Amino acid sequence: MPKPNSFRWSFESEPHKPRTKEIIHKHPEIRTLIGRNPWTFGVILLCVSFQITLSWFLRDASWWIILLVAYLGGAFASHTLYVCIHEAAHNLLFKKSYYNKIAAIIANLPLVFPSAISFQKYHLKHHSYQGVEELDADMPYRWEAKLINNSGFGKALWLLFYPLFQMIRPGKIKEVSLIDKWTIVNIIVQVTFMSFFIYFFGWKATAYMTMSFFFSVGLHPLGARWVQEHFLTHGDQETKSYYGMMNTVNLNVGYHNEHHDFPSVPWNKLPKIKKFAGDYYNTLGHHTSYTILLFKFLFDRKISVYSRMARDNRGSKVKGKTLEQVTVNIDR
C-alpha cells in the first residue's frame, strides 16, 4: 500500500458552525444546557490531591510498581486534569475569566510542564479555524507527519512523545502572542511547585508524575483520543465522538462532535445534546473503544499522521466572514 504523503484537503468551511445553526433552530431546548459547572473545580482539587498523595506513597517504591501505577491510575487522573484545563479554556467553570485561568493553573500542577495558559490561548483558534495549519495547533506539522513512518513502531513512537509534539506546535500559530502575564504566572507557579515537589518528594515521585502525564496523552488507550477526535477514520468526516465507558471517568471528553457544535455547554451536560438532537448525531461515525482504536491506529496502514483534513484560511470563511464572526449567539 503506498505511503500517504499529504493531508486531505477541503475547500469548504469547517463543519460545525453551520450544523450548530441548524440544530439550535430545530432543537431550541439545547439553549437550556448552556452555562457553567463550578463543581469542576472540585474535580480539579480531587485529582491534584490524588496525584500528590499517590506520589508520596510511591517515593520509595520499585520502578516497576511506579510504572504500573502510572499507567493504570495516574494516567486517568492526569487526563481528567487535562480535560479540566480544557473546560477552563472555554470559561465553563466560573463567570470571570481570571477565575478559570487560576483553576487551570492549579489543574496544571501535577502535569509537570507549564501548559495550561498556552493551551487556553491556542485551543479557541482550533475551534474557529479547524484544519487551518497556521492557525490550528491541533494540526500536525507537515514535517511531523512526514517524519513518522507509517508503521506500528513509528506511530507508537509518535504517541509516546506526543506531549513533546504538542509543546512545539504553538510555534507555527499566527495572531497569538507566545508570552503574556498569565503565561508568566503559569510558568512561575509550575516551576516553583515542581522545585518543591522534587526536593521534598524525590526523583521517583517525580518520575511517577511525569509518566502519568505522558501516558495520559500518549501511548495509552487514553492517547487514542487524539485519533478519535479529528483523524479521518470514517471517510471525510472530520470530527468523531467516542461513546464508551471512559467517558465516565474523564468528564465526557468523548462527546467531541457535541462539544464542537456547542462549546458553551459544560462537560456534565454534553450527553443531553446527543439526547436532544439524536437525529443529527446518531447518523455520524463514532468510536466505542479507545483500546480498539489505539490498535487500529498502530497497525492499520491506511491511517497515518497525514490522516487529517486540512483547509486554507479562505476555506475557513463563510460568505466573506471568518468563522469567529459567524458564531451563533446561543447564549441569549
The tens digit of pLDDT for each residue in 64-119 reads: 999 999 999 999 999 999 999 999 999 999 999 999 999 999 999 999 999 999 99
pLDDT digits (tens, 9 = 90+) for 194-214: 999 999 999 999 999 999 999
Taking the C-alpha atoms of residue 90 and residue 100, their distance in angstroms, rounded to an integer, is 9
User: Which residues is 317 bridged to in the sheet?
Assistant: 322
Taking the C-alpha atoms of residue 225 and residue 217, their distance in angstroms, rounded to an integer, is 8
Are 183 and 189 spatial neighbours (Cβ–Cβ below 8 Å)? no
Q: Which of 160, 136, 138 has the alpha carbon at shortest distance from 148?
A: 160
- Give the number of other CB atoms < 10 A from CB of residue 277: 21
Taking the C-alpha atoms of residue 302 and residue 86, their distance in angstroms, rounded to an integer, is 30
- End-to-end Cα spacing for the chain: 52
Domain boundaries, the chain: 8-325
Give the position of cell 465526557. Answer: 252
pLDDT of residue 331: 44
C-alpha cell at 204: 521517583
pLDDT of residue 173: 81
DSSP-assigned letter for residue 289: -
pLDDT of residue 246: 94
Using alpha carbons only, give the angle 89, 92, 94 rounded to the nearest 5 degrees: 105
Q: Which of 132, 98, 111, 101 has the alpha carbon at shortest distance from 13?
A: 132
Are 13 and 323 spatial neighbours (Cβ–Cβ below 8 Å)? yes
pLDDT above 70: percentage of residues in the chain: 93
DSSP-assigned letter for residue 72: I
Q: Could you say which residues of the chain have pLDDT below 50? A: 315-332
State pTM to two decimals.
0.91
- Give the number of other CB atoms < 10 A from CB of residue 153: 10
Give the position of cell 480498539. Answer: 292
C-alpha cell at 31: 439553549
Q: At residue 24, what is the residue type?
A: I
| H or E segment and range at residue 322 | strand 321-322
Taking the C-alpha atoms of residue 117 and residue 36, their distance in angstroms, rounded to an integer, is 19
pLDDT of residue 314: 58
pLDDT of residue 3: 59
Burial 204-228 (b: 16+ CB within 10 A, else e): bbbbbbbbbbbbbbbbbbbbbbbbb
pLDDT of residue 232: 96
